[in-house]
Structure 1
Amino acid sequence: MAANTAAESWRNIRSLRADPPVTLHDVLKVGSRRDVFQAGLEQAQQQFTAAAQIGYASRPLNLFYGLAQAGRAVAAASDQLRGNHPTGNQKQWQGNKHGLTFTTGTVVSAELFGSEVTVQPNLSDLFSRVSLAVGSPTDMGSVSLGQILSQIPEFVAEFGTINQWLPQLEVPGFSTAYPKLGGPKALAVLLPGIPATGSIADTDVRAVTAHYPALRDFPVFHSLSGEVDRPATSGPVELSVLMDDLVLNRTGTAWVPQDTSLYRRQEYVFPAVGDSARPVQPLMAWWLVLYSLSMVARYSPRAWMGLWRSRPARSRPNSNSSSIPPSIRSRTFSQKPSRPSTRYQPLKFAPCRFRRRVPFPRRLTVPNMTWHEREVR
């Protein structure tokens, strides 16, 4: 997954903070908005930097509040939010509440992935302010943490989806070398739950695409025999699209369906979440996840420690394993250490039967000891 390194990203953000682009000058000409924009980005960097230095016991707190401060900067710089008064103004940019609820007690009864976070938007909560700025819905109601995690490409790539929740889909689109003219074209999409080989029914494909707002209006592309068309009779399913139904992506390199999201330089199509008919933008999916984890770590530390700590502290190695997730720690410490290299094998001295872990140089002379008296094992 292509992306800048952390150092490169923060360097770009610092440049943006010091000298905002011309497109933001009209919004940030108000002194208070410019101050919040710059301070929010600086606080976000400090919070994320601090999170990288501590263990998993407290890391969710720094990560969430770092993202929240970055969200304040996004809201302050958004031309979608022009209001300045919190009363009766849907477009005000200041946010002073979470607008979310998460019951930490459900972590024990429903486990972490089955726990639900509820979106309760109002006129002054920060979640809805940032959602309006990035075009993400706020009407999803209550959604499980497992469903939100299945919307994050990094999580799905590492662990897969949770409880059969639908993941994001990669949609390459069509190169801009194609003119935006002509008849229907076949858009190849790899759909979850659809067998990779064999014949499939049109209704099965439609049942899956109905959950993806960007794909639900496209009919299935059929071959001359009337079957659902597939390239090379396996793999992706082809949908019939008109070039007029496509839009230019943000990088200007391809025609893609509407409601396609650009995330880490890759085009994705996300399913609708909860009660909403629209997909949650990746930034807000991260927001819901980090808010939920920070609530567990802050208000139910015993449950949080039990989620990632798989064995008592006294049985752990003395290394900094407390900051390693269980999935990685089990692979790391379950392996037997390799034998030392032969160049560091111990030397045995016949006169004193002394075993030394670091070998003597060959030209070293020892009083009252000839060379043949030293045996190299």
Structure 2
Amino acid sequence: MQIYGINFSIGIIAICIPYIAVNSKVFAEQLETIDYKSFESINQINAPKFSSLLTLIWNPIINTFKNFGLYRLECSIRSTVILGFFGIGGIGTSIFLSFQTLNFRELWTYLWSLAILIILSGLIFKKIKFNTTNKILSIFFIAVFFITILFSFSYFLYFIFNNNIENFNSVSSLFKSSSDLGLFDFLKLILETIILSLLSTGIAISLPPLVIGIFNNNSSKIFIKIFAFLLRLIPTPVIILTLLTFNNPSLSLAALTLGLHNAGITSKLLFTNLDSQDKKNYIAMKSLGISKKTSWLLGLFSQQAKSYLAYCAYRSDIIIRETAIVGVIGSVGLGWQLQESLSSFAWQEVTIVLIAYSSIAIVGELINGKIKNSLT
């Protein structure tokens, strides 16, 4: 927006760039599990290499789309709402304007519309069947896949080279601008961002099993699922703006907001895994007179603990990046400094903040990678 101005295409590219990186990481992890001896065996009978490679990687790609695509689609819908808070347009801008005018009836109308959109998109996506044994469908999906890639790439190039750049002169003066950001203040912002990430991750990991374990009955589970859905539905900027009407900006308030929103996401995964799990151990422990909470903890949750923590390790990578959004509104951490530097066109400060953010994200991914490897 600082370079190209407010443009609807900016929202598309802003969502695509980080999601391409995340999807590439997921696909790379799937491809690493492939047994390449099959590829070598196919090559020995002089089969076309491209066809052999496509045959080898097709099933992992389709399985990833089925397991990861719906979740990523839901995230992209929520991301469009967040971008609307910056004036890009769409339902997010309407939500933000309704909140600013304190028109809460209109605000809830937009939120329920967003909920219907997420639910309908999920139902439609689940109805799509990827039949890898049907050659016609396989060819169709391959064609759609490559056409989407070509269209997206051409759209990106067209936007980059055929749009008027608003503030290019300020970008070209990157190395001429001076930074007023002191070393002590900069280190304080980094520390705030790290603490914000840790506190939010702790809330997102611990809250779902704690609440489900304490209120372990059918009526409570229905209420928890509804509350978790609302936490996922309401964007983090709306949550923190609501809390800021009653409180002053603080690190704990930002951590609570980000933690609650991500707790709604992790609880969905935990509920899904628990509902599909065999409950024989849980029933057996209850029949022996063990308390219901202890039976749930040892008979159900303990079997899902590793996979749940492995997913939370992946989720913490996203939480680190989301601290920028919360920081902009909550006036904490590097996110707030990034907003201030962009507003004043202090590109040297922007570069320093981005390098710091990237360093925190890389260290976080390395640590989470070690955690996930130890859990699998």
In the superposition, the TM-score normalised over structure 2's length comes to: 0.25
Q: Which structure features the higher share of strand residues? A: 1
Higher relative contact order (CA 8 A, sep 6+): 2
From the two aligned structures, give the one with the greater helix fraction: 2
What is the TM-score normalised by the length of structure 1?
0.25
Q: Which has the greater radius of gyration?
A: 1
